[in-house]
Amino acid sequence: MPDHHYITTSIYYVNDEPHIGHAHTTVLADVLARYRRLQGRHVFFLTGTDEHGQKVRDAAVENDTNPKTQADRMVVRFQDAWNNLNISHDDFIRTTERRHTRLVESILRSLWDKGDIYFGEYVGWYCVPDERFWTEKDLVDAKCPDCGRAVEKISEGNYFFRMSGYQKWLVDHLNDHAEFIQPTYRRNEVLGYLGRPLGDLCITRPVHRLDWGVRLPFDPNYVTYVWFDALINYLTAAGFRSDDRAFERLWPTATHLIGKDILITHSVFWLTMLKAIGIPPPKTIFAHGWWNVEGAKMSKSVGNVAKPLDLASVFGTDAFRYFLVREMAAGRDAEFSEELLRRRYESTLANDLGNLAHRLVHMITRYCDGAIPEGGTVGDQETELRDRYTQLVTKVFENIESFAFDEALRDVEEVVRELNRYVEWNAPWARFKHGDQEAVRRVLYHASEALRLVSVLISPVMPEKTRQLWESLGWTPSGDLSEELMWGRLRPGSEVIPGHPLFPKN
């Protein structure tokens, strides 16, 4: 059976337009999907929108429209954003789609029939922005422990999922599968949460209070809690109860990429739901950090939220993607500012990578009649260059597999700097003046081939710029990039195409 991989982002609320947090999750998932395709693997990459719940209903009221129209308007913005950011998803799911609501209803009916859902009285504190209930002891200074905003006390009849019955199983699973949550230290946070008795999960809202959601198939006076509804999207898209062969192929490989703020919902709510349904957990959950501005989390209320398309329009889509992937260490928070983005653009991309590509094409045009030269005799430096590249391929894919995206790019940057030093040390311009054409050809071929290979390795991060670089080198990849990671694919005699720098400075 082919090597299949199912990669998902969290799905995004349609109460507002996409922000940098949404872009970060989606770009990381896209990069992971592209790297796995680069290795010749079959990938199914899912993203989408979460369209039910109180936040969406409230946004619709604020915008003087209805929830479905609010969702339809915002979905277009997300789809346009992912198109502009070159996201290569295979499916875009909306929780208002009938394929999804049908499965939610089916699962609710199954859990009701087996006794895992019951009716009871709920008394607790509700946070509207997070759409989560909290107990009195959960509150911090009488406010939501997650977002710090005001909560409202609610007492009402609701339906509950018997989540507490699966606590021991969940703790055992997390202890037995240390690599399940990435980074691994996040597992301790979840185990800490599970260190006290786990209550049952309120999974409904009465229609008289909130009518925007999936109605319960056994009680139309209630709609499904938005988190219970939304998490099921991963099953819907994978074909659960609609395409058994697809589901059997995809689900064992499922990798969820999420922000750290929704780790509990994914590692506790979701896993206990899956256990009750009779489905094994996904393969991996990776929780990335937050973007901070001057040490504080980005917040709409503070007004410091960066808009991804605005930044991409200034620095270019690929440079923005590179920054998102490079600047945040796996699972940690990272500082954001336009100045940091500008520095990364000018130093790493324009000076190191872009300048190297521009110089090589210029020298081949001038010293080799505009065509890729023969490599000639291989010296110690060239052998070392090839060995270094072989090591780089291994390190990059190892880092990607462990979600250390920033480390993968750091390794690439070091090789690019070594390539620049190789060119400077061998000085083709000086050798040309002294008539040493063999050395000129040797250096320019090996530097260009090494640059081509490096560009293939970073093509999952910067698909547009690497394609431009290949065109300038006169190189056209085969249909399967996984075959292009071997040394020697740059064909002597191919005409280079001089042009503008890959990363022009303003």
In the DSSP assignment, the letter for residue 137 is: G
Phi-psi region of 307 (alpha: psi -120 to 50; beta: other; left: phi over 0): beta
Evaluate whether residue 368 is within a structural domain.
yes
Centroid of chain to Cα 32: 7
Pick from 35, 443, 432, 479: nearest CA to 255: 35
pLDDT of residue 302: 65
Tell me the two tokens of residue 435: 């008539």
| 350 and 256 within one domain | no
Task: Provide the token pair at 409.
Answer: 């790019």
Coil, strand or helix: which one is 492?
coil
Are residues 128 and 258 part of one domain? yes
- The secondary structure of residue 2, as a DSSP letter, is -
List the structure tokens of 37.
Answer: 């395709």
Q: What is the CATH number of the domain that holds 35?
A: 3.40.50.620
First to last CA, the chain: 50
The answer on 205 and 70 residing in a single domain is yes
Planar angle of CA 331, 5, 92, nearest 5 degrees: 80
- Domain shared by 98 and 9, yes or no: yes
> At CB < 8 A and 24+ separation, what contacts does 495-499 make?
495/370, 495/371, 495/372, 496/361, 496/364, 496/365, 496/370, 496/371, 496/372, 496/472, 497/361, 497/471, 497/472, 498/361, 498/362, 498/365, 498/472, 499/361, 499/468, 499/472
CA 165 to the chain's CA centroid: 33
Cα 2 to Cα 458: distance, rounded to the nearest angstrom: 24
Count of C-beta atoms within a 10 Å radius of residue 385: 22
Is the same domain home to 284 and 202? Answer: yes
**366 & 258 share domain:** no
The residues, ordered by sequence, that sit 6+ positions from 303 with a Cβ below 8 Å of its Cβ are none
C-alpha 264, offset from chain centre? 18
| Residue that terminates a domain, selected from 227, 253, 288 | 288
Are 11 and 77 in a shared domain? yes
**For residues 211 and 404, what is the distance between their CA atoms, to the nearest angstrom?**
43
152-161 and 201-202: which strand pairing? antiparallel
Is 312 inside a domain boundary?
A: no
User: For residue 129, is it within any domain?
Assistant: yes
**Do 101 and 249 have their domain in common?**
yes
Output the six-digit token pair for 415.
Answer: 């090789």
What tokens does 93 get? 């799911």
Give a yes or no: residue 159 inside a domain. Answer: yes
Q: What is the pLDDT of residue 1?
A: 44
Which residue spans within 209-320 are E strands per DSSP? Answer: 215-216, 219-224, 255-259, 284-288, 291-293, 296-297
- The DSSP bridge pattern shows strands 291-293 and 296-297 to be antiparallel
Q: What is the pTM of this model?
A: 0.94
Number of domains in the chain: 2
- Shared domain check, 342 and 242: no
∠ Cα 496 500 505 (to 5°): 145
Within a domain: residue 442?
yes
Any domain includes 369: yes
In-domain check, residue 301: no
- Please check whether residues 379 and 450 belong to one and the same domain: yes
- Give the residue ranges of the chain where pLDDT is below 50: 1
Q: Say yes or no: 345 and 263 in one domain.
A: no
**Burial class for 62, CB neighbours closer than 10 Å (0-12, 13-18, 19+):** exposed
CATH number where 352 lies: 1.10.730.10
Answer whether residue 308 is part of any domain.
no
DSSP codes joined into one string, 383-419? HHHHHHHHHHHHHHHHHHHTT-HHHHHHHHHHHHHHH
Cβ-in-10-Å burial (0-12, 13-18, 19+) of 487 comes to middle
- Residue-range definition of the domain harbouring residue 14: 4-288
CB distance 163 to 125 below 8 Å: no
Residues 203, 273 within the same domain: yes
